Amino acid sequence: MTRALIVVRTANRPEILNRCLTAAVEGCDVAQDAFWLVLDDSAVENRPATQEVVKRWNARGLRVSYVDRAVEERVAEFLPEPTPRTFFARVTGPSPSAPTEGRRNFGLIAGLSLKPDVLFFVDDDMVHRHEENCFFHWCANNSHPGSFIAAPLRLGIVDMAYLDRLVRLLDRDDWHQFVSEACISSDLASWYSPKNPFWEQADVGRGRAPTISEKDVVSGGFIALRNNGEGWLPFPGGFNSDINWSILQSTCLGTAILWVSGFSAQHLPPGLGHPGAESILSEIVGTAITRALLKIEPGGRSPMNVLAIHLPDLLRIELKQGLLLFMDVERAVLSRIRTGDEGIQANRLLFKIRDTLADVASLLKSVDSRQLATDWLDDFATRKEMFLELCDDEMVQLQFRRMVFDNRE
């Protein structure tokens, strides 16, 4: 059994990936001895730079495997036909609402094939500061009974949906310091500083012993799966898949969810681009599904049946709550436009955002919450059965170990 495996998702930012790996392994024997799996969603022309980062770390003795779409296709080609290959394509493939989310399932299947004590998922913009306490060590050596999902209390730039960020910024007189036509600021002078309205300043990690509190949900920016031989579910298709996965795992299989303070894990994205209307709608729907799932108590009955009964009505209510936030953003944008003194560039950006919001409003009107809930649950149930069969097929597991971990860059 492997002590730890660390899965990192990255796309088009090799320097950020290198920063993530550097911080993780510095002074940490768990990270140094772990298997690493880099899942690269970069554009084709940007993949060589990411591959070069992986090669450098392998040359330094770190065990890092690299997977892009080409590697994934090779894995599929060597799977037995027809069923395992079909299941693999469905579980790890893109969904319309989230083109890259199937990669989490690839990392989950590949990671579990090594039977690690702990399987970590780390986004490339997460920077782990070891100082007195180390989250990797805590998860690898923890005596908590059974399996669990754990996440460190994070600092740095707060995780928020795009609309939440916009409404907070546009209510500030200095909003254009953080919002450009390209993104919500990648300017380090304003982004990585206490002046940033999304920056969490409290240093809760340094000098404090780890403390545990149970939470209803953890996101996948930095999570650990303590693997004591219990079952795991696949990530659902799109719509806040990492967050909703932890709820489903806890609801369906009773896996403990732990939020652990006493560590310093910083979220340091270089910037946040302006998403299109469909991506914004996906965030609204995903948040609504999360809130609906949190209100459902299985009560010892079949979790999937209970979800099927209650999710449609709860999702309808939560989508109405999402609409209120959407209206707040529209108000903030229109308020800025009406002042007319923001400058040509600022006004051009405001009109662009307004037009995108108009497209979102049109898409929201077409959402049938009952059909959406039914389709989402049906898709999850199908993925679940396929995922479990792939995990139980020793030939498939052997193929993952051979193709992914025995052929490192």
In this predicted structure, what is the pLDDT of residue 335? 86
In this predicted structure, what is the pLDDT of residue 409? 56
The secondary structure of residue 176, as a DSSP letter, is: G
pLDDT by residue for the chain (409 residues), tens only, comes to: 468 999 999 999 999 999 999 999 998 999 999 999 999 999 999 999 999 999 999 999 999 999 998 888 888 888 887 888 999 989 998 776 666 677 889 999 999 999 999 999 999 999 998 766 889 999 998 878 889 999 998 888 988 889 999 999 988 888 988 998 889 988 888 888 888 899 886 655 455 677 888 887 888 889 999 988 778 999 998 788 888 999 999 988 889 999 888 888 889 998 889 999 999 999 999 999 999 999 998 766 788 899 999 999 999 999 998 888 888 888 888 888 887 667 788 888 999 999 999 999 999 989 999 999 999 999 999 999 999 999 998 888 888 888 888 766 5
Helix (H, G, I), strand (E, B) or coil at 52: helix
In this predicted structure, what is the pLDDT of residue 407? 65
284's enclosing H/E stretch is helix 277-294
Helix (H, G, I), strand (E, B) or coil at 255: coil
The secondary structure of residue 95, as a DSSP letter, is: B
The secondary structure of residue 194, as a DSSP letter, is: T
Q: Which residues contact 380 (CB under 8 A, 6 or more apart)?
A: 234, 236, 237, 248
Task: Establish whether the linkage from the previous residue to 82 is cis, with ω within 30° of 0.
Answer: yes
Measured distance CA(116)–CA(136) in Å, rounded: 13
In this predicted structure, what is the pLDDT of residue 210? 75
In this predicted structure, what is the pLDDT of residue 299? 66
Query: Minimal CA–CA distance to 316: which of 364, 377, 245, 249?
Result: 364
In this predicted structure, what is the pLDDT of residue 100? 66
Query: Minimal CA–CA distance to 146: which of 248, 212, 227, 224?
Result: 227
How far is CA 166 from each of CA 183, 232, 291, rounded to the nearest angstrom?
Answer: 11, 36, 21
In this predicted structure, what is the pLDDT of residue 204? 53
CB 235 within 8 A of CB 241: yes
Q: Domains of the chain (ranges plus CATH)? A: 1-158+198-270+385-403 (3.90.550), 161-197+274-367 (no CATH)
CB 377 within 8 A of CB 308: yes
User: Which amino acid makes up residue 252?
Assistant: C
Partners of 123 in the beta sheet?
9
Measured distance CA(187)–CA(180) in Å, rounded: 10
In this predicted structure, what is the pLDDT of residue 187? 86
Measured distance CA(309)–CA(380) in Å, rounded: 15
Angle subtended by helix axes 303-339 and 241-253, to nearest 10: 160
